[in-house]
């Protein structure tokens, strides 16, 4: 269904390629574009995670211990539509 960022095969392959070719900087355009939606029996308990698990999204602000509002860019959903990141924090 997905994988943690530390287990991303594309990032691992990119790092391996950079180690093999230390004389040149290599940039690639590969992007993991999978999306995973987790839910209990109720849609209001949903979480949206990107495949690299760099962002988790929930509509429940009270889940966060140290929530900070702001403009933190955006992530792309499974249908390639952008979704604004309007806050960050740690979950209890």
pTM over 0.85: no
Split at pLDDT 50, 70, 90, the class of 12 is: confident
* Torsion angles phi and psi, residue 50, rounded to 5: -85, 165
**pLDDT tens digits, one per residue of 29-70:** 445 555 555 445 555 555 555 555 566 677 777 777 888 888
Measure the CA dihedral 59/53/10/77, to 10°: -10
- What does the pLDDT average to over 11-15? 71
């Amino acid at each position: 269904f997905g994988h943690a960022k530390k287990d991303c095969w594309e990032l691992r392959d990119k790092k391996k390629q950079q180690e093999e070719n230390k004389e040149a900087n290599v940039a690639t355009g590969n992007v993991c574009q999978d999306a995973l939606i987790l839910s209990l029996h109720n849609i209001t308990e949903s979480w949206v995670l990107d495949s690299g698990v760099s962002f988790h999204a929930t509509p429940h602000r009270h889940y966060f211990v140290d929530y900070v509002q702001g403009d933190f860019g955006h992530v792309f959903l499974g249908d390639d539509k952008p979704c604004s990141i309007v806050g960050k924090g740690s979950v209890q």
